[in-house]
């Protein structure tokens, strides 16, 4: 794989609502979603994501699930990988979904 390639991900028209919701049904992946919501690219290092309590392979699994569902995209630059949210694709496919999910994630729990 040469520099600055993307790992495999579904095309925007192939992003499926049930698959996205299933991917986001895990608390760790919801935490990743809220981290990625800032619009920036993020290193795959668990320490940078506040997930240093999890094994690196566990975090990689969660990132793969999000990417394969079409929630994120992963750019490869040399030996580094950078993840970002596919907000434009998700907003076009499911208007208001991300905003609702992010608002729910921020809501206080009783």
Element (H, E) at 20: helix 17-23
- The pTM (predicted TM-score) of the whole model is 0.88
Task: Give the pair of three-digit tokens for residue 15.
Answer: 């992003």
- CATH match for 5-102 among 1.10.10.10, 1.10.3720.10, 3.40.1780.10, 3.30.750.24: 1.10.10.10
Q: Reduce the DSSP state of residue 37 to 3 states and report it.
A: coil
Mean pLDDT score of the chain, rounded to an integer? 89
| CA distance linking residue 22 with residue 42, whole number of Å | 22
* The predicted structure's pLDDT at residue 3: 47
| Interior/surface letters 87-109, b for 16+ CB within 10 angstroms, e for the rest | eebbeebbeeebeebeeeeeeee
Residues 23-82: tens digit of each pLDDT: 999 999 999 999 999 999 998 876 667 777 878 888 889 999 999 999 999 999 888 899
């Amino acid at each position: 794989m040469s520099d600055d390639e993307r790992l495999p991900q579904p095309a925007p028209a192939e992003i499926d609502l049930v698959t996205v919701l299933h991917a986001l049904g895990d608390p760790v992946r919801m935490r990743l979603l809220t981290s990625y919501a800032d619009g920036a690219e993020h290193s795959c290092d668990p320490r940078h994501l506040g997930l240093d309590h999890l094994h690196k392979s566990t975090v990689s699994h969660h990132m793969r699930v999000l990417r394969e569902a079409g929630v994120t995209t992963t750019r490869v630059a040399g030996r580094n990988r950078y993840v970002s949210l596919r907000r434009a694709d998700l907003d076009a496919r499911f208007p208001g979904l991300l905003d609702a999910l992010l608002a729910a994630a921020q809501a206080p729990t009783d």
